[in-house]
Amino acid sequence: MEDEIIRFKDYLTYERRYSYNTVKAYIIDIEEFATFCKETAQLESLKDADPKLVRQWVMKLRASGLYAVSVNRKISTVRGFYKWMLKKDMILRSPAQGLRNLRRPKRLPEFVPEDKMTEILDNPAEFVDTEGGDRDRLIIELFYDTGIRETELIDLTCGDVDLSRRTITVHGKGDKTRMVPISDSMCERLSKIMTSPGDSLFKTDKGTKMYPRLVYRIVHKHLEQVGTLDKSSPHTLRHSFATAMLNNGAPLEAIKELLGHANLSATQIYTHTTYEKLNEIYKQAHPRA
């Protein structure tokens, strides 16, 4: 099993060119599945798994109390693993064929209201008057102004910022790049921290490349004052960007391109967010609501 998993990891890393964190998540899921197969059916190779064993594994996941979204991610990983095995002629039929995802309740993305974001970004006392404080404010503002992902911000280099065109080049999932516009004021502030084109745009206090846990801590620290949020993460700011754009009249297709979504269906969840806001206003304002 170990050799199969190593080969699958190489496939994800070098052929599919997935990010480090994505590959890590895939391998953790496959290793958990492999452990289950070994303990339940004494299998020495994942090639020998059958549909019944895969279904038993899914039932165990459901019984463990995991959220449907987590179970579905693991199911997707196993489907992808056996699809790779088929592609490499290692098996004749996938034991995960026909395996369906669990139905999950619709969960609207959390976002920070526009007035709250204004309070956070326009409050000088919110950020320590040091180089680190200026950096932290700029990180939060760039998240909110562009909707980029955490990994996309970390991977930005000084060469990705085009001050003359007022854009940044974002390196998204699957090695896809997109151009995202930035404001004049953002250009001015970014120009003050830019160095050589190949250098990371944002650095730690020690001058090294930022890392996910640090970026999360920075965002969480300043968003936790918004008491209505269950989550205060960089992704919350991505949701806040998309919701603000939609509420202010931006076409859904344009938001899709800015976010780097592959399909419009991934962007349409924000229309539900807007509907919920409208519904709340209607109930408060209409005399017969």
- CA 186 – CA 190 distance, rounded (Å): 6
- CA 237 – CA 135 distance, rounded (Å): 16
238 tagged catalytic: yes
Which candidate, 166, 152, 169, places its Cα nearest to that of 234?
152
- CA 75 – CA 88 distance, rounded (Å): 20
**Residue in 38, 47, 73, 173 annotated catalytic:** 173
261 tagged catalytic: yes
235 tagged catalytic: yes
Query: Cβ atoms within 10 A of the Cβ of 155, count?
Result: 19
**Residue in 137, 222, 238, 239 annotated catalytic:** 238
**Residue in 9, 38, 261, 277 annotated catalytic:** 261
**Residue in 26, 82, 144, 270 annotated catalytic:** 270
Residue 133: what residue type?
G
- Report residue 243 as tokens: 């919701």
Cα 34 to chain centroid distance, Å, stands at 26
**Residue in 137, 149, 222, 239 annotated catalytic:** 149
**Residue in 235, 256, 275, 282 annotated catalytic:** 235
- β-partners of residue 203 are 209
- CA 35 – CA 43 distance, rounded (Å): 9
Residue with tokens 């998309």: 242
SS3 133: helix
Q: So which residues are the catalytic ones? A: 149, 173, 235, 238, 261, 270
